Chains A and B, each alone.
Chain A
Amino acid sequence: MIDILFWALAVVSVASGAAVFVVNSMARATYALAVSFIAVGIMLVMVGLEYIGIITILMMVMEMAIMAVYMVMYMGMNPALMPMDMTHNKRWSAVLAGGTFVLLAAGALLIPWPARVGAPAVDLTASLGEALMGPKMLAMLTISPVLFATIIAGLVIINPRGRYDRWGDNLKRDTPDDPMRGGLGR
């Protein structure tokens, strides 16, 4: 029963992953990727990682919804499903990808994997939380400034109008010169 579910999810995830590059419409490509992520999230839940599997589904669906907006913004509206083939170097990419798959599959099947060490904790989420707050605090300490730097860097790169556009050359205007006023008028 679990095997059937696992193989069904595996086929769904790889097929929808391949569909991302095959379908003609951008919205379908984005949501095919979302389906692939949902399948992987369910597989993670089957492997016992409840919290991380559900978090993966949450984050990836949110990301796909936003990515769909970007896809439509850059690639134009193509709902008439015109055939688009914007690829370069298809043959060598396929050869490289196929070779990598053969290599990885050979490794997965031929390496003598060691036996299992230890058993999972009774409350996995609690043990993850305690590990993060205790021995693995360094991981949290590193990720936090990285995420914060990402937010700031993303905003700086994207922002079309800087401080001097909004507040004047002396930064002394009373109200900011925005095309659309914000809710607080700052």
Chain B
Amino acid sequence: MTEPIVQVSPAWAVLAPFALLLFALAGAGLNGALMARSAGRPFRSGASAPLAEAARLLRQRRQVTVAADVLLWRIGAGGLVVVAILKILVIPLGPWTLADLDVGVVWFNTMDVMIWALFWLIGWGANSAHALIGGYRFLSLAVSYELPLMFALITPAVAARSLRVGDVVAAQHDLWFVIWMPVAFVIFCGSVIAFSSWGPFATGAGRDIAGGFLADVTGVDRLLLLTGRYAVLTAGAAFAVPLFLGGGGGALLPDWLWTIVKTALVLAVFVAIRHRVPTIRPDRFAEVAWIIVLPAALLQVLVVAIIVVGS
């Protein structure tokens, strides 16, 4: 079934950004198609909307705001794609991985904390009130989801007795983790949607503050920012596969094909959630996160630890 994870030569790393951007484009196309259908237009016009938008943004001249902090603004806007690429370095495609770190799970966590800094920098750099409010809204949401995310990431590591992603995949050869740690899986998926500032957790880019941190970003920066959001969502969806869904395990198809299929399914669910769930306010969400979600995550870790120690 699943072969042990082996690290391939770094020369393959040039393909990683292309694979990531291809998935991000597919996610954006699905989002466009769903939006077109809910507006009554045919699917196809919405599915090609990301490409049209990318072409428009590449040609668009950048707008300049007064006394903008240009260095920090560009770092924020361009950094999301970089962070997504760094994240997928530890995600195995079937039996192959680019970076077989001993602490792969913690590496993923570190990269998504970089996103905190990036969204705040985007909000600050524009020197506009709405953008700064958008950045602050994201930080207030981030404080709420971060602890449950950390515990949800540690739960598979506890079950596999290792922080290495390859060991987490190998520990699922009997039973996928999603079946006996569903709370951790749900918290992980919610946190991925939250750190991509997507769907129900997109108050930072909300329409009530004129687009939030998306307000003043134009041209290539906007293309990088929107691409980065989809790329980070894709990286999170891809990481759910080795962590909870058994990696490349499955009947008939080879490992790498199963990884791609599972990633695509999880990404489709994440994109579709935007069209089903209304926006969640960070101040209301804070109480729910600290009083209900965090104890649930802790209980999940406790149950898993008892099972692991007992077996």
**B287 near A28: Cβ-Cβ < 8 Å:** no
**B116 near A79: Cβ-Cβ < 8 Å:** no
Tell me which residues across on chain A come within 8 A of B68, comparing CB atoms.
79
Residue of B nearest to A64 (CB): B117
**A186 near B291: Cβ-Cβ < 8 Å:** yes
Instruction: State how many residues of chain A have any CB contact under 8 Å with chain B.
Output: 32
Tell me which residues across on chain A come within 8 A of B117, comparing CB atoms.
31, 34, 61, 64-65
Which listed residue (B107, B121, B163, B286) contacts A125, Cβ 8 A? B163
Known contacts A125-B102, A125-B103, A184-B287; decide if A65 and B120 are in contact (CB<8 Å). Answer: yes
Shortest Cβ distance from residue B147 to the other chain A in the assembled complex, whole angstroms: 11
A65 to B79 alpha-carbon distance, docked (Å): 15
**A31 near B72: Cβ-Cβ < 8 Å:** yes
**A184 near B113: Cβ-Cβ < 8 Å:** no
- In chain A, positions 40-79 with a C-beta closer than 8 Å to chain B are 50-51, 54-55, 57-58, 61-62, 64-66, 68-69, 72, 79
Query: Which residue, A62, A65, A68, A80, has most C-beta atoms of chain B within 10 A?
Result: A65
Tell me which residues across on chain B come within 8 A of A181, comparing CB atoms.
284
Tell me which residues across on chain A come within 8 A of B288, comparing CB atoms.
183-184
**A65 near B124: Cβ-Cβ < 8 Å:** no
Q: A interface, by DSSP: helix, strand, loop or mixed?
A: helix
Tell me which residues across on chain B come within 8 A of A51, comparing CB atoms.
102-103, 106, 163
Shortest Cβ distance from residue A159 to the other chain B in the assembled complex, whole angstroms: 14
Which listed residue (A27, A50, A186) contacts B69, Cβ 8 A? A27
Q: Does any Cβ of A come within 8 Å of B283's Cβ?
A: yes
Q: Does any Cβ of B come within 8 Å of A118's Cβ?
A: no
Residue of A nearest to B116 (CB): A65
Known contacts A51-B163, A65-B120; decide if A57 and B110 are in contact (CB<8 Å). Answer: yes
Which listed residue (B67, B127, B146, B283) contacts A182, Cβ 8 A? B283
Tell me which residues across on chain B come within 8 A of A72, comparing CB atoms.
124
Q: Does any Cβ of B come within 8 Å of A123's Cβ?
A: yes
Known contacts A65-B117, A186-B291; decide if A58 and B106 are in contact (CB<8 Å). Answer: yes
Query: Could you list 13 examples of A-B contacts with CB < 8 Å?
Result: A27-B72, A27-B124, A34-B117, A58-B109, A65-B117, A66-B139, A69-B136, A69-B139, A79-B124, A79-B127, A125-B102, A183-B285, A184-B288
What 6 pairs across the A-B complex have the smallest Cβ distances?
A182-B287, A183-B284, A183-B287, A183-B288, A58-B110, A65-B116
